[in-house]
């Protein structure tokens, strides 16, 4: 679902890798696992890129469907090209992401399927080239994709443009397993080892904690930032690791613990159904699991792809399950980690989740989806944290309302699900023509807000009047940013929030 990474990195990466060994010391860093040689892209010459660094052993053979194991020392590593994303498929069913905005897909631009592999547990680091003794704040980005697809190699989600502008922070993006490879829900696995995609995320965070200082980052100022299922994962994380969150703050874009995309299959029928069609039927749970570890990964994904796109029933789902370790039955089962929170959604989030037509969509249904599955859960998540923190940690809310033609090519798309990401990453003007002045200023306002939030642990925000007491800042609606009254929208949440 994305573009060819080698085309994006450019020929300059080969030169940069050579320079790393011949005196350009800022392109070589010494981590606990070995020396890492990075690169510089000619489009963002003030940004060091360290791409495709393994944070875990390849999850293949006996490690398929198993918790991740930490990467081992590697001596030296050329981190000059993006690595493949984890196993997934690009649905052939029509949607805005397959027909209108391919830049939010693996491969982007030229198609909807990018390089994928089981050997995918890698992360990438983007950092300024400027030399400073000051340790920089770090944002770890969790991509979305309903726990089924996505990866760190997405055109709109590459942060080099943002760092080129600010020169004052570091961004880390990482791959984690999804779909059946990340959430198998297999009878042969212990219940607390079913959500291995979430365990991948924790291991990536620990890698950043242990190694980011070598890149100039501050391990005491790590903010977790996720969109869609990435935001859901961070919400889960804030409860699962409440006594040791590593992070100093959390940012959740259009995703939180009240957006229910869990798999409820206590009999493990989904995994057994797939196994039965791949030569692993009528076996004990242990034998079934062992057999599925030997099946070709592409064959597994191909079967699920064909079955799902055909609209066959029963529907197969492979997403997080309740395990009382990483995911709980209800929220809050107890208070989340006491971390400053920045929580928001998009004005037209629901557009992506109603039947697609190139001429438009059912606007009323899209509005209902926006309120039911995004705005109201976001409001509930913010209120939950306000109550849990009891004034000890700030909670900031936002609403993204921008509608810019080089991000939303058709007016009815509006501020669709994920449309805020090109603004924060700074990629809005790279693929569909120049950005307007309002778009540029909105992008800068959002970048500054996200960065100030992490850099100060939520103690200082860049928008006047945004004081962390529940006020909502709207981005991109005629002005870059403004505090707005959201009480009318909140009143519509009604029964969902017990009002």
In which order are the strands placed within the sheet that holds 28-30?
28-30, 34-37, 75-78
Q: Which residues contact 289 (CB under 8 A, 6 or more apart)?
A: 65, 186, 187, 188, 189
pLDDT, mean over the chain: 92
CA-CA distance, 167 to 107, in Å (whole number)?
Answer: 28
Render pLDDT for 416-447 as a digit per residue (tens, 0 to 9): 999 999 999 999 999 999 999 999 999 999 99
β-partners of residue 469 are 395
Question: Is the link from the previous residue into 399 a cis peptide, with omega within 30 of 0?
Answer: no
Of residues 453, 456, 351, the one with CA closest to residue 398? 453
CATH 1.20.140.150 fits 5-268+310-497, yes or no: no
Residue 120 clears pLDDT 80, i.e. is over it: yes
Q: Which residues contact 279 (CB under 8 A, 6 or more apart)?
A: 291, 295
pLDDT of amino acid 112: 67
Residue 463 clears pLDDT 70, i.e. is over it: yes
Active-site residues: which are they? 228
The burial of 260, by beta-carbon neighbours within 10 Å (0-12 exposed, 13-18 middle, 19 or more buried), is given as exposed
The burial of 7, by beta-carbon neighbours within 10 Å (0-12 exposed, 13-18 middle, 19 or more buried), is given as exposed
Band (pLDDT 50/70/90 cuts) for residue 13 is very low
Per-residue tokens: 231: 């935001």
Which of these ranges, 21-25, 273-277, 495-499, has the smallest mean pLDDT? 21-25
Q: Please state, in angstroms and as integers, the Cα–Cα distance from residue 331 to each residue in 67, 385, 406, following that order.
A: 25, 11, 38
The burial of 372, by beta-carbon neighbours within 10 Å (0-12 exposed, 13-18 middle, 19 or more buried), is given as middle
Residue 41 and residue 47 in contact, taking contact as beta carbons nearer than 8 Å: yes
Can you give the pTM of this predicted structure? Answer: 0.93
Render pLDDT for 369-397 as a digit per residue (tens, 0 to 9): 999 999 999 999 999 999 999 889 999 99
pLDDT of amino acid 92: 84
pLDDT of amino acid 114: 86
Rounded average pLDDT over 452-460:
94
CA-CA distance, 342 to 225, in Å (whole number)?
Answer: 9
Of residues 273, 276, 279, the one with CA closest to residue 296? 279
CA-CA distance, 242 to 336, in Å (whole number)?
Answer: 6
The burial of 240, by beta-carbon neighbours within 10 Å (0-12 exposed, 13-18 middle, 19 or more buried), is given as buried
Q: Please state, in angstroms and as integers, the Cα–Cα distance from residue 178 to each residue in 69, 144, 280, following that order.
A: 17, 11, 21
């Amino acid at each position: 679902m994305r573009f060819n990474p080698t085309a994006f990195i450019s020929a300059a990466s080969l030169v940069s890798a050579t320079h790393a060994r011949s005196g350009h010391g800022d392109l070589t860093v010494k981590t606990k696992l070995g020396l890492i040689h990075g690169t510089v892209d000619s489009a963002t010459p003030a940004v060091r890129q360290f791409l495709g660094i393994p944070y875990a052993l390849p999850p293949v053979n006996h490690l398929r469907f198993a918790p991740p194991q930490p990467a081992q020392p590697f001596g030296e590593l050329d981190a000059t090209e993006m690595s493949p994303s984890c196993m997934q498929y690009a649905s052939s069913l029509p949607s805005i992401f397959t027909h209108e905005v391919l830049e939010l897909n693996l491969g982007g631009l030229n198609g909807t399927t990018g390089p994928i592999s089981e050997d995918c547990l890698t992360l990438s680091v983007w950092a300024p080239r400027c030399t400073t003794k000051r340790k920089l704040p770090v944002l770890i980005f969790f991509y979305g994709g309903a726990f089924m697809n996505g990866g760190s190699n997405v055109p709109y989600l590459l942060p080099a443009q943002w760092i080129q502008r600010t020169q004052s922070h570091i961004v880390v993006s990482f791959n984690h397993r999804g779909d059946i490879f990340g959430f198998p829900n297999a009878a042969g696995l212990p219940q607390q080892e079913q959500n291995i995609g979430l365990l991948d995320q924790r291991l990536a965070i620990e890698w950043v904690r242990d190694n980011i200082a070598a890149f100039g980052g501050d391990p005491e100022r790590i903010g977790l930032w996720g969109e869609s299922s990435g935001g859901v994962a961070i919400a889960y994380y804030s409860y699962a690791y409440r006594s040791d969150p590593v992070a100093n703050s959390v940012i959740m874009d259009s995703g939180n613990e009240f957006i229910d995309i869990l798999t409820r299959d206590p009999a493990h029928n989904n995994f057994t159904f797939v196994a039965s069609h791949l030569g692993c039927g009528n076996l004990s749970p242990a034998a079934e699991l062992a057999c599925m570890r030997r099946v070709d990964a592409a064959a597994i994904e191909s079967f699920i792809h064909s079955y799902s796109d055909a609209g066959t029933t029963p529907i197969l789902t492979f997403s997080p399950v309740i395990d009382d370790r990483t995911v709980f039955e209800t929220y809050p089962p107890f208070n989340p980690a006491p971390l400053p929170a920045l929580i928001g959604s998009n004005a037209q989030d629901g557009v992506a989740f109603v039947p697609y037509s190139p001429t438009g969509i059912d606007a009323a249904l899209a509005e209902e989806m926006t309120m039911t599955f995004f705005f109201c859960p976001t409001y509930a998540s913010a209120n939950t944290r306000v109550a849990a923190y009891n004034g000890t940690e700030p909670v900031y809310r936002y609403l993204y309302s921008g509608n810019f033609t080089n991000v939303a090519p058709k007016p009815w798309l509006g501020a669709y699900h994920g449309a805020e990401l090109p603004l924060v990453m700074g990629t809005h003007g790279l693929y569909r023509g120049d950005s307007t002045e309002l778009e540029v200023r909105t992008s800068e306002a959002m970048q500054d807000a996200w960065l100030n939030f992490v850099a100060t642990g939520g103690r200082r925000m860049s928008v006047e009047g945004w004081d962390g007491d529940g006020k909502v800042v709207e981005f991109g609606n005629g002005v870059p940013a403004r505090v707005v009254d959201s009480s009318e929208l909140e009143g519509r949440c009604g029964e969902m929030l017990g009002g």
